[in-house]
Structure 1
Amino acid sequence: MTVNDHPLLQGELRLAGRLDGRFFDLLAALALTGSLQKAAKAAGYSYKGAWLVLDAAQALTHAPLVAKATGGAGGGGTRLTVEGDALLAAWRELQSRHAAFLHEQAAWLATQPALDALLKRMSMKTTARNQFFGRIAGVNPGPATTTVRVALDGGQEVTASLTTPAAHELNVKTGKEALALVKSSEVVLVTDFGGYKLSARNQLAGTVSRVERGAVSSLIGLTLPGGMVVTASVTNDSVDGLGLTVGQPATAVFKAYAVMLAVRD
């Protein structure tokens, strides 16, 4: 178990709220090279910036952290003082303890499957506004195309259509956790079918819960039974034409090929 298994479980170590890892990289490089110019470059500071951060740190510690050496066989340079060495050693020990603490919490999370799964879902970053979590309820493979049904927590289903090679690569199997990703621009809202049936596989009925109007288009939130929300990007003309208002029943419609599937290993 590593902390990286839980990208949301992170903690940045700072001393006095200001001295961070980059500052201590500067001290470590300085101890190694004896040259502030080389140490600044290694830690990503300018020479002037390195002196400024050292001055700020010394104002916090009320003790000199570096000392200049002049002349001698080495031609002078900059070294850590006793206080600087002690501070760097303390930082390294605190880093070790901090990492051990995070590993301990990650191990505890592994014993909480529901919370663990929630955090892992949250760790995925994507521009798709609609991210439907569920489990694969059915797989229908074909020579070129495979359709996958994902059962959502609210009782609805989302169907995705993907190439059969992609389905093999994802190793889609019934019962596996999956995320169905759909861009808001792919969602069509229907308020009245007028006696017609649509060919789109995904038709999720709900209630308009949000109308966020922009200069050209609006974001419409449609709450499904169970509380899941579908977001659609709709032109303002369409909003006006449909008379979309909060509390109005509507159906979110999108084709199966518009669904991108993400499956946990």
Structure 2
Amino acid sequence: MTLLQADLRLAGRLDARFFTLLQALQQTGSLQRAARAAGYSYKGAWLLLDQATNLAQTPLVQAQQGGRGGGGSQLTPAALALLQAWQQLQQRQAEFLREQQGWLLAQFHDHPELAALLRRRAMKTTARNQFIGRIAALTQGPSTVQVRLELPGGLPLRAAINAEAAAALDLQVGQEALAMVKASEVVLVQDFAGYKLSASNQLAGTISRLEKGATGALVGLTLPGGMQLTASVTHDAVEALDLRVGQPATACFKAYAVMVAVAG
């Protein structure tokens, strides 16, 4: 898992995208296809290469005449040397960052919770809600495994994952796990009116944030212990429930809506 990242550029303008263009041009022999691969328009790629050629004061691309395709483009020896230097520099940067990552984690030897924070934040996910807890119980079913997590403050959270995924994760009772829930999977309830819901997770809290957007609203709940949970709701739901900051509400979501991750 990468904890450190750095944007590598040469001379402030020549970045990974530029060198992707060079590499694609070398592989395809077509500026049009290379531009598409690097995310440039044909004109944008052409202008960029012209600018780089002028600044280098030596050609970077040369026309290739003839052939079944009617010719194309290829990199000059100067451009190939530049591309090779970039690739070697990328490797050196990656080695440097790995070394610095080890040094950084060593600084948190007496504070493992900080190292754990970095590892969790390094995970890239679209789920707005992320909770760290410990696996309190595992119940094996015919095709699914019920996972009961205990969050800080003793708050329970339940997940249901298929048996194959559970085996791949090698889940163990007592193991630390990260639970993730998309905001769109959360249903807010203010008054149960004597009814009981089938949702396995029902977390009561207080509305602490309400952000209205163009297509909907994000509602933030503060749960016992200070944890935050976000629900994505429609404008109609905000008006129908008369949602306001400071009001109590219960976040409900199914066990199948919970994704579980453990350190590999």
The C-alpha deviation readout for 1:125-179, integer Å capped at 9, x for no partner, is 3333322222222212234442211222454221112334442233211232322
The structure number with the bigger radius of gyration is: 1
TM-score (norm 1): 0.70
Structure 1 residues 65 and 200: CA distance shift in structure 2, 3 A: same
The range that moved more, 113-122 or 165-174, is 113-122
CA distance in 2, matches of 1:67, 1:127: 41
Match of 1:106 among 85, 93, 101: 101
Shift of 1:224: 1.3
TM-score under structure 2 normalisation?
A: 0.71
Matches within 5 A, 1:1-265: 5-6=1-2, 8-21=3-16, 23=18, 38=29, 52-61=47-56, 63-64=57-58, 79-80=76-77, 91=86, 94-111=89-106, 112=108, 113-153=112-152, 155-194=154-193, 196-214=195-213, 217-265=216-264
Relative to 1, partners in 2 of residues 1:39 and 1:92: Cα closer, same or farther, differing over 3 Å?
farther
Distance 1:26 1:166, change over 3 A: closer
> Following TM superposition, by how much is the alpha carbon of 1:100 offset from its aligned partner in structure 2, in angstroms?
2.8
Decide whether the 8 Å contact of 1:155 with 1:226 is kept in 2: no
Give 3-state SS (helix, strand or coil) of 2:101's partner: helix
Q: For the residues of structure 1 that align with 2:191 and 2:167, how far apart are their CA atoms?
A: 39
Report SS of the residue matched to 1:239.
Answer: helix
**Alpha-carbon contact 1:181-1:261 (below 8 Å) kept:** yes
Checking the alignment, whether the CA contact within 8 Å between 1:135 and 1:177 is kept in structure 2 is yes
Q: Is the 8 A contact 1:204 1:224 kept in 2?
A: yes
Does 204-213 or 86-95 show the bigger shift?
Answer: 86-95
Tell me by how many angstroms 1:17 deviates. 0.6
Task: Give the aligned partner of residue 70 of structure 2.
Answer: none
Q: Percent identity?
A: 58
Structure 1 spans left out of the alignment, 5+ residues: 70-76
Can you give the 5+ residue segments of structure 2 that lack an aligned partner in the other structure? 64-73
Does the 8 Å contact 2:219/2:233 carry over to 1? Answer: yes
User: Offset at 1:42?
Assistant: 9.2
Structure 2 CA distance for partners of 1:144 and 1:23, relative to 1, 3 Å: closer
Cα distance change of structure 1 residues 124 and 87 upon mapping to structure 2, 3 Å threshold? closer
User: What is the CA deviation profile of residues 160-202 of structure 1, one whole-angstrom value per residue up to 9, with x for unaligned ones?
Assistant: 1233444223321123232223233332222234455544332
* Partners of 1:201 and 1:108 in 2: CA distance: 42
Shift of 1:204: 1.2
CA 1:23/1:217 → structure 2, altered by over 3 Å: closer, same or farther? closer
How many residue pairs end up in the alignment? 247
Change (3 A) 1:26 1:175: same
**What displacement does 1:93 show?**
5.8
Amino acid at match of 1:252: A
CA distance 1:53–1:264, shift in 2 (3 Å): same
CA distance in 1, matches of 2:222, 2:103: 34
Q: Secondary structure at the match of 2:119?
A: helix
